[in-house]
A and B are shown apart, each in its own frame.
Chain A
């Protein structure tokens, strides 16, 4: 079986090396480069399956790279950012990146993100981008046809908006969705960017779905960025 290829765009040699080593040990093929310009040439020529992009590149703004790549390719892009830099993360995600990981990170976290990205791209490639009819994650079952949400065996009553939000998240399970993305999907592109309504709705959903809202299993909060629905690691 051919291995998945990961393109690592990172200018710090130590970090580049350790990521490459960890991924190679997990049966990925890796290509590395140090600058944004190089990456823009490597992506079309090598067609990697996943791109790992550090936002702190010396020659180009990482967001620029995302935008340029997105103009002709849907390859999954995971951006690597510093902890304090919420703005860059959100900008990257809104520009088309699929996920983010914060420095410093452990290799297991990285590998999990890569797996998720691959899974999603596979789904869209094989045309399974059609809306799912059923979503199942541990004890959460959603039937999109019947508009029914069942958690731990019991049906949960959600408001119209809450249902729409849960649906949006579950159809993108594993992916982080930014506040703005969710607002424009649910309330339309002209909605105010004030995210309080969204936050409150999400908090209500958490209270309805989670056994312990402070230790959520399904609706994960990415502070400063958005939300993510966890998924069964199949």
Chain B
């Protein structure tokens, strides 16, 4: 700083000397040309104005005023080349000139200062506008906080911290500090106590507020609609108090941040409510489907066993055996239903949270096929897996259940004894599994609603105990919980195909 002010001073000296000299020369020419010297003073006044405008501070203007007066007296008033202030009227002229020079120079200096201030103010307003816009458009609580803290630290050249809740209750502050010691300062028990106080009282505290409380930092609450969304703490390491303007700007940023936070909270709440309602809907659908699908086999079992009990003696052995066979089959069907339901309970609270582990895809498929064969020993199932060994993050029981449900569907409803094919393919970062049959296919109108748990009223009667019911809607729930997709299509060559995909978090294993 010192060096540049020396340079500035030298430049100003240079400018002053040049302009004064130029003025003198012009005045000489003028006097010789016109023979009068009235305008000499004016030329010097002009020189003074120019000097004040183009130099820093009052001093050069004043020096040139005095020099001007002296110059006019010395060079241009009788007796020439002599200082004489006593001639009639000259004192007033000279005083007048001095006054004009001083006023002019001070005015130009003021003007310059004003211009600089206005410029700064405009820059600050533009910055605030930019902050405003950014805060309004940013999404996510942490982004809003990060942005606000960055701007505040920038503006106030300070370290800052954001507490969403009182730091005495939880360690959840976000820090934006110039050094680690500042973080320690914020975390010190006294500062934490003050931050807590601000939460309780919804009033600013600390340096430069009405409640200094012996703090070295300033804490400002972010409020909107009478709710406190957080507290921002600011520590100014240089210790200079912030100017009134900086404080105003700070308060503006903070109120904007509060609004942005409130808006984000509201939007998050809305999302949660939407999820809850979806879950409730799903649960209601499920319960409805469950009660229908469980009652049917039970009705069969109760009826048949009652018949057997009452009519044992009257029934021939083959008949008895047949009834027992029905009971056996129905109970297995019931077991299958219960297993489906158990899988639902494995999906925890949120619709999108599932216990995933890295499983080898072909092992899961093998297990599913093994269970299917136990239940349907005569069914033909063909499987094709990718060449490479693929590990997929998934819950193996759930995905196994999906494969079982889909293949069973095809076995029962395709209306043909042709083999059901299970094809697993690795496509970039996704695993794609298709269950395809060669049967009657699906009604195009059913393609979307088929996963929603309603039995179709067309092909089979809706009272079929083996109705679509829960199976497919459970598949959808499971796949969605794995962040995958599931849909159904009709094959070009006839028959239906059910497709689901699972994202890989890693690619294949070498």
Contacts and interface: CB of A to CB of B under 8 A. Distances in A.
Interface string B259-277: 0000000000000000000
A213 B385 contact: yes
B383 A214 contact: yes
A213 B391 CA distance: 15
Q: How large is the interface on A (under 10, 10 to 19, 20 to 34, 35 or more residues)?
A: 10 to 19
Contacts of A233: none
A224 B335 contact: no
B489 interface: no
B309 interface: no
Contacts of A206: 362
- In terms of DSSP, what is the predominant structure of the interface of chain A? loop
Interface in B20-77: none
B346 A84 contact: yes
Contacts of B230: none
B363 A223 contact: yes
B367 interface: yes
Nearest to A86: B397
Q: How large is the interface on B (under 10, 10 to 19, 20 to 34, 35 or more residues)?
A: 20 to 34
A102 to B, nearest CB: 11
Interface string A195-223: 01001100110100000111110000101
Interface string B349-370: 0000000001110111111011
Given A83-B342, A200-B360, A223 B367 contact: yes
B367 A221 contact: yes
A203 B360 contact: yes
A127 interface: no
B391 A199 contact: yes
A104 interface: yes
Contacts of A213: 362, 366, 385
B389 interface: yes
A96 B490 CA distance: 51
A204 B389 CA distance: 8
Interface string B369-403: 11000000000000101000101000011001000
A223 B368 CA distance: 10
A84 B509 contact: no
Contacts of A84: 342, 346, 397
B339 interface: yes
A200 B383 contact: no
Contacts of B364: 223
Contacts of A215: 366, 369-370, 383
A196 B509 contact: yes
Most buried by A among B363, B364, B370, B383: B363
Given A203-B362, A216-B366, A221-B367, A104 B335 contact: yes
Most buried by A among B346, B364, B389: B389
Interface of B: 335, 339, 342, 346, 358-360, 362-367, 369-370, 383, 385, 389, 391, 396-397, 400, 509
Question: Which 8 residue pairs spanning A and B have beta carbons closest together?
Answer: A214-B383, A203-B389, A221-B363, A223-B367, A214-B366, A199-B360, A203-B360, A200-B509
